[in-house]
């Protein structure tokens, strides 16, 4: 392989890598945001359960509840409280 072919191969590989990064950057960013919000949901559930002795509010500390709070935010927390109150 001579120098010209190596240069062309590097340019094509670089172009392909940049194209892949541009294609997958938005879904990757959304996945990271969802993960961060889910972790914040876990922290919120932990804080609610930590104060359960005073408030009497107990919510299960699990992935689904954390996802609901992480995706929906404060309305998700209210939704979980409503579901617990009804059931």
* Cα(23)–Cα(79) distance, integer angstroms: 35
Rounded Cα distance, 12 and 35, in Å:
34
- Give the pair of three-digit tokens for residue 25: 């950057």
What is the C-alpha to C-alpha distance for residues 44 and 70, in angstroms, rounded to an integer?
9
Total number of domains in the chain: 1
- Between CA 56 and CA 58 the distance in angstroms is 6
Confidence of residue 70 (pLDDT cuts 50, 70, 90): confident
Alpha-carbon span 70 to 60, nearest angstrom? 14
Look at residue 43 in the predicted model and tell me its pLDDT.
93
What is the residue range of 70's domain? 3-86
Task: Categorize the per-residue pLDDT at 72 as very low, low, confident or very high, splitting at 50, 70 and 90.
Answer: very high
């Amino acid at each position: 392989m001579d120098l010209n072919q190596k240069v062309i191969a590097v340019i094509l590989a670089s172009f392909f890598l940049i194209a892949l990064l541009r294609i997958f950057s938005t879904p990757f960013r959304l996945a990271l945001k969802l993960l961060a919000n889910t972790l914040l949901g876990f922290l919120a559930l932990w804080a609610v359960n930590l104060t359960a002795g005073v408030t009497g509010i107990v919510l299960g500390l699990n992935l689904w509840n954390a996802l609901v709070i992480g995706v929906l935010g404060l309305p998700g927390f209210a939704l979980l409280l409503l579901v617990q109150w009804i059931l």
